[in-house]
Amino acid sequence: MGNMTKLLNKPLKTFIVFTCVVLACSIPAYFYLIESIWIDELDDHNQQLKEQIQKRFNEGNPDDLNKRIELWNQIQINSQISSASGICKDSVYLIEKEIVDKGVVERERFRGLFSVIFLNGKTYSVTIETNVEEVNETVLAISIITCLFIVFLIIGFILLNRKLSRQIWAPFTDTLEKLKQFDLNNADVINLKNTDIKEFVELNETLIKLINDNVSVYKQQKEFTQNASHELQTPLAILKSKVDLLIQDASLTADQRKIIESLDASISRVTRINKNLLLLSGIENKQFETEEVNLSEQVKSVVNNFIDFAEEKGRAISLSVQDGIMVNANESLVEILISNLISNAVRHGGANSGIDISLNGQGLIISNEGKATLNEDNLFRRFISATTHNPGTGLGLAIVKEICDKYRWRVSYTFTGNQHVFSVFF
């Protein structure tokens, strides 16, 4: 999740990128627009200056016209008047000149007008050139101001996004937090925050309906499992006792005894399944109280109970237990968890192999030799055996997982070096 982006930041990033693109496009647009306007203004300025020159020179004394033209050409560097032999059309142009400013030579652009004027009935040509470098300065100033406003705009987007997101998305955040804390086993009523945003209202209504439907189905399933298990206890006990009586009948033939023993094994398996279902139901309904349990002593006690069973199966148990390890849990559930893991190791271990059991401050590790890895997809699922070689009730490891989930412990399985390794971390 480290590389994930929040939903609110996605449109914000798009807005910022779009704004920067628009800014980048606006600078050349400013330049060409302002230069176009500026050139038009300079053309008008040059045309007006030409008309003023013609008017003022015609108003003066005709005898000193040449002196005045000579003086004008000396004073006005960018505007020159000279004699012309004929009439030609006005022309405008752009030209670059080298200008010395404070000892520094610079190249600047000029907008020029070449035209013909009539002074005292004679034809003269006039050249008027006006500096257009102010365009670059104007565009630069506008670009700087625009960039500053864009920066302020982006900062405003970010600040407003953060402020508005806390207000607008508060109902969604509240709903998300309550969904994270919701536990189907508790089946508590979930109260979602009221909002006037239509989409969030529809989301909350849909979630409440979905949760209520699932809680209802879950309760029905739990009640059915619990009731069925309780109702099966008595007939199973009666059936078991009747079969035990039949086995003790000396008049049975060998075939009859074999059939009855097979029936007895099936009844025993159903009885174990029924007991496990009642146990799971009790765990889900939180019928087991929590207390401080000496885990070190529990492991030793359970291992002692399995030594004879392990020897019958050709398994040798190696035990390494750190003393004084305490956990907050139910003593009966801890015993069941340890028993199920050791039973699983005994049943799935190889012939004449060992079982290593170690307990320290971090967790309980039980390993045994094996030929192939167990089916990890079905390992902790109910009524599904992780192997076809020694199928059990399919509830032993499911109970282990349920107990670990109850106390927020972590159970894991690995197969390394032909060793099945089950670990429970507290």
85 has pLDDT over 80: no
Q: What angle do CA 335, 340, 344 make, to 5 degrees?
A: 150
pLDDT at 67: 87
Residue 59 maps to which CATH number? 3.30.450
Helix 254-284 with 198-247: angle, nearest 10 deg: 150
Q: What is the pTM of this model?
A: 0.49
Is the same domain home to 130 and 210? no
Pair (213, 269) in one structural domain: yes
- Same-domain status, 250 and 283: yes
CATH number of the domain to which 198 belongs: 1.10.287.130
What amino acid is encoded at 80 in this protein?
A: Q
Are 28 and 125 members of one domain?
yes
Instruction: Judge whether 82 lies within some domain.
Output: yes
Residue 311 lies in a domain: yes
User: In terms of domains, do 140 and 82 share one?
Assistant: yes
Residue at a domain's end among 287, 302, 326: 287
Please check the confidence at residue 365 and state whether its pLDDT lies above 90.
yes
Which pLDDT score is estimated for 425? 92
Do 305 and 412 fall into the same domain? yes
Residue 1: what pLDDT? 47
Q: Are residues 101 and 81 in the same domain?
A: yes
Q: Tell me: pLDDT of 161 over 70.
A: yes
Span 300-326, average pLDDT: 88
Mean pLDDT of the chain: 81
Q: Which of 287, 305, 322 is the last residue of a domain?
A: 287
Q: For 327-333, what is the mean pLDDT?
A: 89
Residue 59 DSSP SS3: helix
Asked if residue 181 belongs to a domain, the reply is no
Residue 303 located in a structural domain: yes
Least confident interval from 72-76, 105-109, 356-360, 402-406: 105-109
pLDDT of amino acid 9: 66
**Could you give the count of Cα atoms lying within 13 Å of 133 in the half-sphere of its Cβ?**
9
- Note whether residue 110 is domain-resident: yes
Kindly report, residue by residue over 208-261, the tens digit of the pLDDT.
888 888 888 777 777 776 677 677 777 878 888 888 888 888 788 888 888 888
Better pLDDT: 62 or 327: 327
Same domain, residue pair 278 and 300: no
At 188, the pLDDT band (50, 70, 90 cuts) reads low
* Residue at 362: amino acid letter: Q
Pairing of strands 326-329, 79-83: unpaired
Residues 274 and 307 placed together within one structural domain of the fold: no
Q: Residue 359's pLDDT band (boundaries 50, 70, 90)? A: very high
* Within a domain: 299: yes
**Structure tokens, 268:** 């025993």
Whether 4 is in a domain gets the answer no
Assess if residue 221 is contained within a domain.
yes
Q: What is the domain extent for residue 122?
A: 9-156
Cα separation, 424 vs 247, whole angstroms: 42
Total domains in the chain come to 3
User: Which of these ranges, 192-206, 277-291, 394-408, has the smallest mean pLDDT?
Assistant: 277-291
DSSP for 76-119 reads: -TTEEEEE-SS----EEEEEEEEEEETTEEEEEEEEEEEEEEEE
* Whether residues 282 and 295 fall in one domain: no
Q: Which of residues 131, 156, 181 is at a domain's end? A: 156
Same structural domain, 213 and 311: no
Indicate if 281 and 295 belong to the same structural domain: no
**pLDDT recorded at residue 424:** 93
